[in-house]
Chains A and B, each alone.
Chain A
């Protein structure tokens, strides 16, 4: 009985997630277009709101291609793997409607699962037997693994204050007005930048790099397979915003209320705002940012925060 209810809850979660990803892309297009003083999608249906549904329908009915000399199995597995990993990450999110899994060490599990994303990028880039895809994949992998270290240390400096591996308890341990964001402002800004780089978002989307690599590691993917990769990317962005809201802004992981919604949406909007505002970084600047700035910053902050427990 428990099993069946979990099944139904999980399936509902997946469907809602796919929908929210769709509408998040619509928000992105709208925000970008208004940032550039144009209208954006406003023709389909009422005010262009059903646009993502039409896009999804189009993507899923397009023809799939089999690329010459590509590793057929790996090429097809990697989008499926990417989306499954994204869905599994959302297991950590417990709302009253979706209270199926209660995990004690949820932050640990997040770190473990988020490191799996590298494999899908590597597989999809390497297996599609294209030079652009390979170059994009190498860049993306190098970027993601570099930022992973500073991400783990940033999470650790938050956890050294809350002394917990659980997201809900970390959220509760913050005072009502004194959020982690205000206690550790430097860590918060570093965290936001790291999250942008982890999810290959705009100022750091060297993997994509339209001007040189056309589309990066997903260049050979079309139709539904591209849709799967896309869902995985945007779903993980949404998860990151929820995580940031919980760890830094005293959001909640098992109740849904208005403030939580506002926090999540503000963070999600920030991701789009950054994309509309900043130009792309240079690759060597990107790498020296994490290895020379963030790593030293986080090692120092962890060292300081360990001693704070003694006082």
Chain B
């Protein structure tokens, strides 16, 4: 526990130091408008870069949330199988997986999985 914490702290410190070195080597006192504009194929950026995005992506994130939670709930199944609680775990997990599958089929039929309608 302590050692893995040390490793994590070490990783973050190491990378941060690397970043400091980069900033020290690379920062330049000169800056101009053209140098600091975001890249847009040689044109001046016209509007704000905070673009509206397709609703599909948002929908996908919501579906992901549901499925990810269900996956997280499924994981303890392995331990219960290891502890030989076979009958109950098979029953509950297959019920769970059937619900997951039904949800997937519902999403599919509804058309929220297909990118182009």
Point out residues on A near B: beta carbons under 8 Å: 2-3, 6-7, 10-11, 14, 60-70, 76, 79-80, 83-84, 87-88, 91, 100-101, 103, 108, 128-135, 138, 141-142, 145-146, 148-149, 152-153, 156, 159-160, 163-165, 214, 219-220, 223-225, 227-228, 283-284, 287-288, 291-292, 295-296, 299, 302-303, 306-307, 309-310
* Cβ-Cβ contact count across A and B, 8 Å cutoff: 207
Cβ B75 vs Cβ A149 within 8 A: no
Residue with the greatest number of chain B CB neighbours at <10 A, chosen from A60, A160, A299:
A299
8 Å CB contact of B14 from A14, A142, A303: A14
8 Å CB contact of B8 from A64, A88, A228: A88
Cβ B97 vs Cβ A302 within 8 A: yes
Interface size, chain B (Cβ < 8 Å): 64
8 Å CB contact of B86 from A134, A149, A295, A310: A310
Task: Report the 10 A-B pairs with minimum CB-CB distance, sorted nearest first.
Answer: A224-B22, A284-B115, A87-B11, A130-B38, A64-B26, A101-B4, A10-B10, A83-B15, A84-B15, A291-B113
- Give the secondary structure class of B's interface: helix
Which residues from 2 to 47 on chain B have a C-beta closer than 8 Å to any C-beta of chain A?
2-4, 6-8, 10-12, 14-16, 18-19, 21-23, 25-28, 31, 33, 35-41, 45
- Give the secondary structure class of A's interface: helix
**Chain B residues within 8 Å of A100, by CB:** 3-4, 6-7
Cβ B81 vs Cβ A306 within 8 A: yes
Point out residues on B near A: beta carbons under 8 Å: 2-4, 6-8, 10-12, 14-16, 18-19, 21-23, 25-28, 31, 33, 35-41, 45, 49-51, 53, 57, 60-61, 64, 67-68, 71, 74-75, 77-79, 81-82, 86, 89-90, 93-94, 97, 100-101, 104, 107-108, 113-116
